[in-house]
Chains A and B, each alone.
Chain A
Amino acid sequence: MPVKVAGPRIYSSIKFAHLAHGANLTHRASNLYINVTPLVDLMTVLVTFLLMVFSASGQILQAAKGLELPVAAQQAELQEAPIVMVTSQGISVIIQDQHSSMPQTKDVATIASLLENPPPTMMIDSLLETLKSSAENIKNAIAPLKQDGKGGKGYTKDQILACQREDDKLPAVIKGGVKIICPDGLAIVQADKLTDARIINMVVNTARQAGFEKLLFAVKYQATK
């Protein structure tokens, strides 16, 4: 068998006419086109979906070191409100300023200092100050809206209606199986599942004193077996 020089002539020995055609034998350009349009479409849709998921829950699901939510079987959709985040390291408050699109985070205390020297009044002073100003801002923002009965300033009409019904001591608004709670006096506690109950008691007591009588505990939903 004669020795032949290796090269594109390898195709000449394989009966694939559509591949061999133009393999330097006919001097025509042979370009293999990959249709990337479906790939681009898929990527665009996937990125859009993930951005929507990320941005919709980003304010509530802020990743924090030392924060793993406890698990519960009761399922009720989480409503937006100021968040008191309790991690294994410290306590911070996340407030959505109506004049800014980005929420503001303020660290108020460390867990170690609170457990080492628990306040005799069971209230965290720095947290109390922050929550008081936030409660006042919310109250001032909602008061004119309650008179008009319309939404605005980041509050929906249903939320304002819930506030009006609360003032009239009527049952809460339930829309789509979800109870709408008036944002006035509403806050979310997002705490790590291993947080000491003493810290939780302090946070709850402080929030109540600041004017947040209604507290929502953020949990991970897990259906019962």
Chain B
Amino acid sequence: MGGAVGTGDKKSVNVDLNIVPFIDLMSCLTAFLLVTAVWVTIAQLDIQPKGRNRNPDQMVDETEKIVLSILIQKERIWVGQSRINEFVPIDRVGDGESAWAQLTTTLTDIKASTFFAERSDLELAAESLNDENKVIYQDIVRAMDISKGIGFTDVGLTDRDSLTAKPTL
């Protein structure tokens, strides 16, 4: 790459650019960024300020309409409708995939009913009692994901005591 400076030849003035360090730097930087770059697509699930919370000033009057509620427990998923006071228990056995499939079916049937055909809101709560009866965040996300996929895009996350319809155990 060019001649050298100070060769004694007065006519040629060539400058050597040593790009070996540059290539070294680029190689290290590329390797570092390839390792640290997160090759996943990050998405979002939004929750609505629905459902009652513990602040009595913000209680929502839900007596006028039927509210669809989902309660996730370690052993069971409850799907209930207020006013009707009807609860469908879905047992979580094995790896739990059958329970999620049954939840999908149940919500699909409810969505097809007259009361919820035009509705897109539901309440969701997860009851985690202790380390032995723990409900994890992935379960909440899974339930939200299923709900939004069926058409219940307005998911309100709350705690068990704030559910409009909660099963009495």
* Complex interface residues of chain B between 125 and 142 (CB less than 8 A to chain A): 126-128, 131, 134-142
- Contact, CB under 8 Å: A215 / B47: yes
Q: Nearest Cβ in chain A — how far from B41, in angstroms?
A: 4
B63 at interface, CB cutoff 8 A = no
Contact bitstring B1-22, A, C-beta under 8 A = 1, else 0: 1000000000000000001001
Question: How far does the alpha carbon of A139 sit from the alpha carbon of B137 in the complex, in Å?
Answer: 30
A184 at interface, CB cutoff 8 A = no
Q: Nearest Cβ in chain B — how far from A74, in angstroms?
A: 5
Given A72-B43, A217-B44, is A39 in contact with B23 using a C-beta cutoff of 8 Å? yes
- Contact, CB under 8 Å: B141 / A217: yes
- Contact, CB under 8 Å: A77 / B29: no
Measured CB to CB, the nearest residue on chain B to A86 is B137
Q: For the complex, would chain B's binding face be called helix, strand, loop or mixed by DSSP majority?
A: mixed
Given A51-B33, A197-B128, A200-B126, is A40 in contact with B46 using a C-beta cutoff of 8 Å? no
Contact bitstring B60-95, A, C-beta under 8 A = 1, else 0: 000000000000100000000000000000000000
A218 at interface, CB cutoff 8 A = yes
Question: How far does the alpha carbon of A72 sit from the alpha carbon of B23 in the complex, in Å?
Answer: 41
Q: Nearest Cβ in chain A — how far from B107, in angstroms?
A: 14
- Contact, CB under 8 Å: A219 / B45: yes
**What residues of chain A lie closer than 8 Å to B41, measured between beta carbons?**
75, 220-221
Given A57-B38, A200-B126, is A74 in contact with B140 using a C-beta cutoff of 8 Å? no
Contact bitstring B29-70, A, C-beta under 8 A = 1, else 0: 110011011101111111111000111000000000000000
The residue that A78 contacts in the complex, of B23, B44, B144, with Cβ under 8 A, is: B44
Measured CB to CB, the nearest residue on chain B to A39 is B23
Measured CB to CB, the nearest residue on chain B to A179 is B46
**What residues of chain A lie closer than 8 Å to B34, measured between beta carbons?**
50
B27 at interface, CB cutoff 8 A = yes
**What residues of chain A lie closer than 8 Å to B148, measured between beta carbons?**
74
Q: For the complex, would chain A's binding face be called helix, strand, loop or mixed by DSSP majority?
A: mixed
- Contact, CB under 8 Å: B40 / A220: yes
Taking Cβ atoms with an 8 Å cutoff, the residues of A that contact B are 33, 36, 39-40, 43-44, 46-47, 50-51, 53-54, 57, 60-61, 63, 69-79, 86, 115, 121-122, 181, 188, 191-198, 200-201, 204-205, 208-209, 213-221, 224
What are 26 inter-chain pairs, A to B, with CB distance below 8 A? Answer: A36-B19, A39-B23, A46-B30, A47-B33, A53-B33, A63-B38, A74-B149, A75-B43, A76-B43, A76-B46, A77-B43, A77-B44, A193-B136, A194-B137, A196-B128, A196-B135, A197-B140, A200-B137, A204-B158, A208-B49, A213-B49, A214-B46, A214-B48, A218-B43, A220-B41, A220-B43
Q: Which 4 A-B pairs have the closest CB atoms?
A: A197-B126, A50-B33, A43-B26, A197-B128
